[in-house]
Amino acid sequence: MKNLHITHPKKVVKGIIKLNGSKSISNRVLIIRSLCDKNFRIDNLSSSNDVLVMLKALRFENNNIDIHHAGTSMRFLTALTSTKNNKFTLSGSERMHQRPIGVLVDALKTLGADIDYLQNKGFPPLKINGRKLEGGLLSIKGNVSSQFISALLLIAPTLTSGLVLTIDGELVSRPYVQMTLSIMEEFGIDYVWEGETIIVPPKNYEHQDYFVESDWSGASYLLQMASLSKSARLMLNELSPDSLQGDSKAVELFKNLGVSCDFAGFTLIVDKYGETTNFFEADFIECPDLAQTFVTTCAAHKINGNFKGLQTLAIKETDRTKALATELAKVNCIFFGKNGNWHLEAEEFGCSEIPKFKTYNDHRMAMAFAPLALKLEQGVIIEDADVVKKSYPNFWKDMEKMGFVISEL
C-alpha cells in the first residue's frame, strides 16, 4: 500500500510521452487470437495488469482462473471459456464478486452454455463447462455494461449458427461495441448493424499481425494536466486521429477547458491556450471512463457543471460517483445526483492542509486526482498509488517527466 505525495513547483507541464497500448483494444485482440486457427504477433500490447491477467489466463495452464480486479477479463473470459471444450472456474477479487454478471450468463445460457454460480446468484465466481455453442437469436438490454455485448460479439463468428443480437433499449457506451465490431472486421469477420440488431454470421477469424494504438483513456489525464497547468506543451505518441476508442472524445471536451490538440501523423501535440468555459456540461454515456477526469478538472478550475450519462459508474471498480463525492468534499466541492445525472458545485475548491485522496482499488481515482497538485501549492497525497498498474503502469514516471515531484510516504 504505497502512498505518494505529489507537487509541481513550476506548474509548467512539458514532455514527450510514449503512452501504453490501449487496454480495451489489447484484450479484444487477445480474445480474437485465442479464437484464431493460427497465432499472430501483437505489437504495442498494453502492459497493464488487466492485460497481463488476460495473457496468463489465455495460456490455459490452469483451469482455475483468478482475474483479480480485471472486469473486462471476467466478462470476455466468461464468454470465451463457454465455447471451449473444457471445465473452468472463474473468480476474482472481493470487489469482482460484487459486480453483476447475470445478464451475460443468462445470454450465454440462452445460446446453450453450461454455467453455474459458485456463491451468489448473478455474481462471480463461476463454474463453466465449456462446449460448442449453437448460437442463433438473442436479445439483451442496452443499458447493461457494453462489455457484456462485446463478449458475446467476440465469440459470435465461432457459433454454429452465428449470432443475431437485438439490443433492447438505449445502448450505453456504444463506441466500445463499435470498436469490437471494427476490430473483428479487421480479422475477416462480416457483420451488419441495422437499427437495434447486429448480425454476425459464422466464419473463421483470419490471422494477421496487429499494432495496438495507444490508450486514449490514459491520454485524458495528460490533457487534464495541461488544462490545470500555467502553460503546457506535450507530445503524445501512437494516438490515432481516427481512433476506435470512444475516449478520444477527450480532445473535443477539453477545448472547453483551455486545451488545444493537433495531430502530426500519429503524434498528438497538446498546448494550453488558457480560456475555459464558465459552466461545464457534457453527456458521458458513450465515454464513462472520462467522467472522473472531467469532474476533477472542473473542480480544480472552480467550474460548476452538469455531468450526464453516469449510470454505469456505480458498478465499476468502485461506485465511482459515490467515491467522487466523498473525495471532492475534502477540497470543499459538492458533487451530488442520481440516475446518472450529477451536478458539481466547485466555487470553494481548496484545502488548507494536504488532502489525502483514497483510491478505492480504482486506478482512475488515483489518476484523476493526482493532477490536482497543479492547483494546490501543498500538493496532494494519493493513497494506494500502485492501483494505476491496472491500466497505466508508468503513470507516476510519466508525471515526473512532466516536472511533478513525487515522494513516497
Give catalytic residue positions: 289
CA neighbor of 367 nearest in space, from 390, 340, 395: 395
Give the cell for residue 3: 502512498
Q: Which helix (H) or strand (E) holds 14?
A: strand 12-18
CA–CA separation, 370 and 220 (whole Å): 13
Give how far Cα 120 sits from Cα of 102, 145, 374, Å.
10, 19, 44
Strand runs (DSSP E) across 187-302, as ranges? 192-194, 197-200, 210-211, 231-237, 257-264, 267-276, 279-283
Residues ≥6 apart with Cβ < 8 Å to 62: none
Phi-psi region of 79 (alpha: psi -120 to 50; beta: other; left: phi over 0): alpha
CB 397 within 8 A of CB 220: no
CA distances from 289 to 4, 206, 207, 283 (A): 23, 31, 30, 12
* Phi, psi of 173, rounded to the nearest 5 degrees: 55, 45
**C-alpha–C-alpha distance, residues 132 and 267, integer Å:** 44
Which residues, 6 or more positions from 193, have their beta carbon under 8 angstroms from its beta carbon?
Answer: 181, 199
Q: E strands, 49-189, where?
A: 64-66, 87-91, 114-117, 126-129, 136-141, 163-168
